Amino acid sequence: MVWKKLFASVGVGGASVDTVLHEPNVVPGGVVHGEVRIAGGAVEQTVQSLSVGFLARVEVERDDGEVKKDIEFARQRIGGELRLSEGAVHTVPFALEVPWETPLTVLTGHRLPGMEIGVTTELALAKAVDSGDLDPVHVHPLPAQQALLDAFLGLGFRFKSADLEQGVVRNTRQRLPFYQEVEFHAPPQYRGLREVEVTFVADDREMDVVLEMDKKPGLFSEGSDSYHAFRVGLANFASTDWAGYLNRWISEVSGRRNWL
């Protein structure tokens, strides 16, 4: 982020602010370290409070279709009242915890298209609130999440898309008002399957994994969706052969046909 000019209570000569992330690569449950630099302008101003938080751009269903909405899902106050003298510079460090449910923005070292997640800065000035631009973070999978994703890729699934949707995944530990779906094209060996959507909902001990299978239509039936949910411990995930587990279940589901 570059220096951003803030409004001044007298109309001219406002302060400038710049938020710097020391390391934008993070994992859910980690910490983003950075600092907010505030430089006084041509007039004296009072910053009443300073905070940083996480913001995501989420798809929201409406009667007239889908729209994008910015949803803040964490905020931390890092400074109280501060008098900004003309030309003075203040630096305020911060350590912002990354919520365990934070969506992934990186897969196999590449940015997931459409994932807009970052740190936003908010300053409350006299009689007004000013929000800074979004400083992107690169959210990499937890080891347990990576193991599941590697299993899908190893079975021949190909990444299709990822999106964030407002709503609740039932019977999970979800606390945020939205969730992520990572969608894969099914490989040819699963003849009855078209696509699979994967959702992770984690906390500090384990995560819920929800799979939605999009089945191809049969001879006398339309296509249908099948769901499968299971829990994975963040500490003992490596004891399971995830490729074998997924292959057995997907083979069974994709092979089912409703002939009558």
Residue 240, token pair as written in the block: 């399971």
Instruction: Check whether residue 35 and residue 93 sit in a common domain.
Output: yes
Give the model confidence (pLDDT) of 200-234 as tens digits: 999 999 999 999 998 654 433 344 578 899 999 99
Report pLDDT for 128: 61
SS3 138: strand
Domain boundary among 139, 158, 177: 139
Report yes or no on 239 lying in a domain: yes
Domain boundary among 93, 119, 139: 139
CATH of the domain at 78: 2.60.40.640
Domain count, the chain: 2
Instruction: Check whether residue 153 and residue 118 sit in a common domain.
Output: no
Contact 195, 253 (CB under 8 A): no
Report yes or no on 260 lying in a domain: no
Regions of the chain with pLDDT less than 70: 1-13, 126-130, 132, 215-224, 255-260
End-to-end CA distance of the chain: 60
What's the pTM?
A: 0.87
Report pLDDT for 61: 84
Give the model confidence (pLDDT) of 85-120 as tens digits: 888 888 999 999 999 999 999 999 999 999 999 999
Instruction: Check whether residue 63 and residue 169 sit in a common domain.
Output: no
Instruction: Check whether residue 125 and residue 207 sit in a common domain.
Output: no
Question: Distance (Å, rounded) from C-alpha 145 to C-alpha 151?
Answer: 10
Domain boundary among 119, 139, 159: 139
Instruction: Check whether residue 126 and residue 96 sit in a common domain.
Output: yes
